[in-house]
Amino acid sequence: MSRRLLRGAAWLGFGLFFLFPLYAMADFSTRNLLAGGRTLRAWANLVVDDALYQAIVVSLALSALTVIAMLVLLVPTLIWVRLRAPWAKGLVEFLCLLPLTIPALVIVVGLRNVYLWVTYFLGESALTLTFVYIVVVLPFAYRALDAALAAIDLRTLAEAARSLGAGWTTTILRVVVPNIWPGILSAAFISIAVVLGEYTIASLSGYQTLQVEIVAIGKSDGPTSVAASLAVLVFGFALLLALSLATRGRRRRLTTGVTE
């Protein structure tokens, strides 16, 4: 009984700790600072303010592009390393984790020359940030995907699929991917969270992403800036909730054991 009380108190404490800032943000973003009372003007600005709306679109597009490119790059690479080049595992892990150790400022300075070519070929679209963001999300995505691949008997499943007539692409898409789906969702959602929260690189590179726009708006319109921040946070929570719900049934199916 006392244990249950303790657990309840802990849940309440953690809930208040995490929810109170959100409540405060919601409160501030709906406050009419001039006339008093409540208003949804700041929330309406998320779609009415053209610059902010464009920044939201750019950030969401960047998230989507980064996730797609990251998965296309990382999933086959990690499968290949595990099946055909286990000797390269350490090297790939090192390369994937490297961005964690390099400050964003250094990355921007280092990439400046590379981006001269990128903008020369692809124009000055903010979407070219995808290339940098792929590198930035690598450490997080690598961990999620590597853990998912380690949890299955990849070699046997791949060989079974091959012996049944599946080519490599079919083996990856129809056998491996469905069995590492929770890891793929984790990698994708963590990457989205990282991209939506990234400020330094976008700002120093001169691109107007959501975070850059939130900071700019915050200098003149606090409630709108806070509303945008809260929207991003809620979006992140919704993604995590979706991840949990989407993988729950699958996790249960993969782990239910039966005795002989």
Partner 1 sequence: MTTPGVAVELVELTRVYGTVKALDGLSLRIEPGELVALLGPSGCGKTTALRILAGLDEATSGAVKVDGKDISGVPANKRDMGMVFQAYSLFPHLTVLDNVAFGLKMRRKAKADRLSRAKEMLELVGLSEHSHKYASELSGGQQQRVALARALAIQPRVLLLDEPLSALDAKVRTQLRDQIRRVQLEVGITTLFVTHDQEEALAVADRVGVMNRGRLEQLAAPAELYANPATPFVAEFVGLNNKVAARVSGGTADVLGTVVPTLPGSVASGEGLAMVRPESVTVTADPAGSARVSSVAFLGPTSRVYVTLPDGEVIGAQLTSVAARAFAPGDPVTVGVDADGVLVVPS
Q: Considering only CA atoms, which of 186, 203, 103 is closest in space to residue 144?
A: 186
CA distance 165 to 197: 44
Query: What DSSP string runs through 183-206?
Result: HHHHHHHHHHHHHHH--HHHHHHT
Contact flag: residue 249 with partner 1 (CB under 8 A): no
Contact flag: residue 84 with partner 1 (CB under 8 A): no
In Å, how far from its chain's centre is CA 98?
A: 18
Binder to partner 1 among 16, 32, 153, 241 (CB under 8 A)? 153
x/- mask, partner 1, residues 176-215, rule CB under 8 A, reads --xx-x----------------------------------
Contact flag: residue 35 with partner 1 (CB under 8 A): no
CA distance 141 to 67: 9
Size of the site for partner 1 (CB under 8 A): 27
Binder to partner 1 among 120, 165, 219, 245 (CB under 8 A)? 165
Contact flag: residue 50 with partner 1 (CB under 8 A): no
Binder to partner 1 among 17, 163, 219, 220 (CB under 8 A)? 163
Contact flag: residue 101 with partner 1 (CB under 8 A): no
Long-range residue pairs from 27-36, CB within 8 A, at least 24 positions apart, any chain: 28/222, 28/223, 28/226, 29/223, 29/224, 29/226, 29/227, 29/230, 30/223, 31/223, 33/222, 33/223
Binder to partner 1 among 58, 92, 135, 161 (CB under 8 A)? 161
Q: Considering only CA atoms, which of 187, 239, 158, 182 is closest in space to residue 66?
A: 187
Binder to partner 1 among 69, 166, 204, 243 (CB under 8 A)? 166
Question: What are the tokens at 48?
Answer: 């009415």
Binder to partner 1 among 6, 10, 19, 160 (CB under 8 A)? 160
* Contact (Cβ atoms closer than 8 angstroms) between residue 110 and residue 49: no
Contact flag: residue 150 with partner 1 (CB under 8 A): no
Q: Which residues bind partner 1 (CB under 8 A)?
A: 152-153, 156-157, 159-167, 170, 175, 178-179, 181, 250, 253-260
